[in-house]
Structure 1
């Protein structure tokens, strides 16, 4: 490996952002569960739900603090590691980041004080409202960050201008930039993934208490509600992922081709379940379903899917790395569906909490959604390096990050 400044900057930034991204999904997932637990407390007046809410609020606050601290480091690295890029697209990229601070972070952090210290100081309804605002603010933070990142994936509504000999990109339509072609589906995919991660944290801790025979009522109720959210979110992910893949097929065909190791443009393109791809020999070997990629991307088994041969080789993403990270993410998603569906079956039978083998699986399982979310971002970011996208007329062109 050539250890030049660019490579070292990439490694440092990758480490920073991957460490940071451990925490926001926990905040988003826990935030929604806090709303559910506290709402149940106000509706049923059962003290156990207040106990559950108070416990998870402490975990939420600790996680939120680390997320904020690590996020500040990431923001500074935009200027230290990618100063030229920041100057070039700062007018565009900086807009959603500024909106995140003004409209989301301040909302979340402002009501966080009431959430943490407002017990017995404000009315229960006001405290629930604060909890809702914190959860909403955490999701809106995710929205603005995804908007900024999605513009890099599918850049629209900008033009290149030159001032005093310096070229830079400027916004031509603010709302078109926000609602760029990939923003909404990527936001939904990210948020639902965060719900899975937050729910699995609750499932893991609750399973620990159940196995230890401590705080049984607390653990059972926490577990059951988190399981419902985890199952719902896990089942929704394949649908959202499918829609996202269709957007990638239209706007980032090189990325989709790398996802599936598709080197030749073809009809009845296969979908690989597992495999290994070799960019040097341009071969992909593994277990594949013939025609399924064509069907998923275009709704027609005979549809043509653009392969990597449509792009200069120097514009290819790192194919095997993207192929493997994408397929591992999908495999983990299927695992979450199987695990949560099986758990719901035992819950329906009334025997869930007697299945100690299943509860033991949940102890380390908290790490799996973290890994899945990390793999998703790796696939998205490496898939666009250098990659290509399409403009509004459908013509392939280089992404402005280059």
Structure 2
């Protein structure tokens, strides 16, 4: 492998690893804030116990997310210096704002929340966690704005051999951002909701296995139902915004859409392929040709997903490839952004093969949908069995299913990002900068491999620690707590609440 391939592997591994923690942080922060609100409004100390129980899981996940996320930005300079040089003026702005505004906002208020139980009034203390959740959401917004620029490079011009930002506002009115932001927040709430369902439901099922009544059965049941309703509501947001994403992709990234559906030839009333096998190889001119081995389709569905019209024409990989070779990159309406239009003369000399990895895009999409749907079915099942004071059964199916449930939305999130990034190939900035031009020119394959091995070792250690902490704490009983009393003495020491 050359340095570019290894750099892509390294960035992919570290990004997906980091992204295991991101949706859990996004969703659980809001859920912990709501649990504390329920305690404050009802006075029921059981909700305070739930707040502190899930807050510890949130803090474990938050710490792991911070530790693994820092690596991402270092890689821009180490392995992708040409990318950083080319888009640093654009990409650096939302990244800087994420660190200076969102992360510090989040970190400040999480400190106040942890140490402020006996220093802040109940309402003020609860408000701190809402600020933490808001900070996490703002962080996601800035990161997504940067990534969506890579998907559709708006608000920039080509000057002095690099992209320069001319309209910051366009980063947040980018059609990709407008559909990706609610999609990601919904996916985070799915992860948070499934965590509540899985842990609370598993404790109830474990008690049933031991033929005992769990001492906290009532609050566990209520928590499981709260998580299930959160999971189902978030699923509706994810599916609705996902449908909107498909339509944006159909307009601005028709090749990604065609690859994720295995659609080779342009088709009217295009069907949605449930399962398929495709092969691809480069011809003598270095352009990829894709062939279908097998595909099982449901008629009309793809045309409806892409254009809200079951009879609409959806362009296939073959025609899109020919269009690119003839006219260069353009969206389905024959339009380009300012940066894409100004960079086209540079692209003419590069000989870019516009076809991504079809099988990777195809199955990432299906795994994303399948895992998310399974999680939603788990939420429905929990609502059904806990109606009228019921509880999950003592059998292995329930215990294993509830143990696996929190991982389903997390893995679904990861496959969604794999689709987003792999389907964008061969572009690091869509229709402008090919990925192979973005890698650092003076970094050798051996250096990338060495750093990848080091990161792999560190990440492996973090994984063992985090999973052990998570599983050990999740298996514990709810903590015994007392109502916090406000200590107004100015010299009283602050204490770590966990």
Query: What TM-score comes out, normalization by structure 1 length?
Result: 0.92
Work out whether residues 57 and 116 of structure 1, in 8 Å CA contact, stay in contact via their aligned partners in 2.
no
Measure the CA separation in 1 of the matches of 2:388 and 2:432: 53
**In the alignment, structure 1 residue 339 sits paired with structure 2 residue 340:** no
Measure the CA separation in 2 of the matches of 1:300 and 1:151: 28
Measure the CA separation in 1 of the matches of 2:427 and 2:84: 20
1:393 matched to which residue of 2?
none
Q: 1:192 pairs with 151, 169, 186, which one?
A: 186
Work out whether residues 24 and 188 of structure 2, in 8 Å CA contact, stay in contact via their aligned partners in 1.
yes
Per-residue deviation, 1:205: 2.1
Per-residue deviation, 1:310: 2.6
Residue by residue over 1:257-294, the C-alpha shift from the partner in whole angstroms, topping out at 9 and shown as x without a partner, is: 00100111121111112222233552162321112111
Work out whether residues 194 and 375 of structure 2, in 8 Å CA contact, stay in contact via their aligned partners in 1.
no
Tell me: CA distance 1:388–1:26, structure 2 relative to 1, closer, same or farther (3 Å).
Answer: closer
Measure the CA separation in 2 of the matches of 1:157 and 1:284: 42
Measure the CA separation in 2 of the matches of 1:345 and 1:311: 47
Measure the CA separation in 2 of the matches of 1:342 and 1:298: 33
2:95 matched to which residue of 1?
97
Higher Cα Rg, which structure? 2
Per-residue deviation, 1:312: 3.2
Measure the CA separation in 1 of the matches of 2:259 and 2:244: 18
Per-residue deviation, 1:355: 6.5
Q: Residues 33-182 of structure 1 correspond to what in structure 2 (within 5 A)?
A: 33-162=31-160, 167-182=161-176
User: What is the DSSP-based 3-state SS (H/G/I as helix, E as strand, rest coil) of the residue aligned with 2:294?
Assistant: strand
Indicate the larger mover: 244-253 or 15-24.
15-24
Measure the CA separation in 2 of the matches of 1:368 and 1:312: 35
Per-residue deviation, 1:34: 0.8
* Gap regions ≥5 residues in structure 1: 390-396
2:422 matched to which residue of 1?
382
Work out whether residues 378 and 405 of structure 2, in 8 Å CA contact, stay in contact via their aligned partners in 1.
no
Q: Relative contact order (alpha carbons < 8 A, sep ≥ 6): 1 or 2 greater? A: 2
Work out whether residues 147 and 179 of structure 1, in 8 Å CA contact, stay in contact via their aligned partners in 2.
no
User: What is the DSSP-based 3-state SS (H/G/I as helix, E as strand, rest coil) of the residue aligned with 1:62?
Assistant: helix
Tell me: CA distance 1:52–1:401, structure 2 relative to 1, closer, same or farther (3 Å).
Answer: farther
Per-residue deviation, 1:157: 1.4
Q: 1:311 pairs with 316, 320, 324, which one?
A: 320
User: What is the DSSP-based 3-state SS (H/G/I as helix, E as strand, rest coil) of the residue aligned with 2:175?
Assistant: coil
Q: Residues 202-213 of structure 1 correspond to what in structure 2 (within 5 A)?
A: 202-213=196-207
* Gap regions ≥5 residues in structure 2: 208-213, 282-289, 323-352, 436-498
Measure the CA separation in 2 of the matches of 1:110 and 1:217: 35
Work out whether residues 85 and 401 of structure 1, in 8 Å CA contact, stay in contact via their aligned partners in 2.
no
Work out whether residues 235 and 337 of structure 1, in 8 Å CA contact, stay in contact via their aligned partners in 2.
no
Measure the CA separation in 1 of the matches of 2:427 and 2:264: 14
1:400 matched to which residue of 2?
433
Q: 2:365 pairs with 326, 336, 348, which one?
A: 326
Per-residue deviation, 1:352: 3.6
Query: What TM-score comes out, normalization by structure 2 length?
Result: 0.75
Per-residue deviation, 1:379: 0.4
Q: Residues 22-37 of structure 1 correspond to what in structure 2 (within 5 A)?
A: 22-37=20-35
Per-residue deviation, 1:23: 0.9
Work out whether residues 277 and 294 of structure 2, in 8 Å CA contact, stay in contact via their aligned partners in 1.
yes
Per-residue deviation, 1:349: 4.5
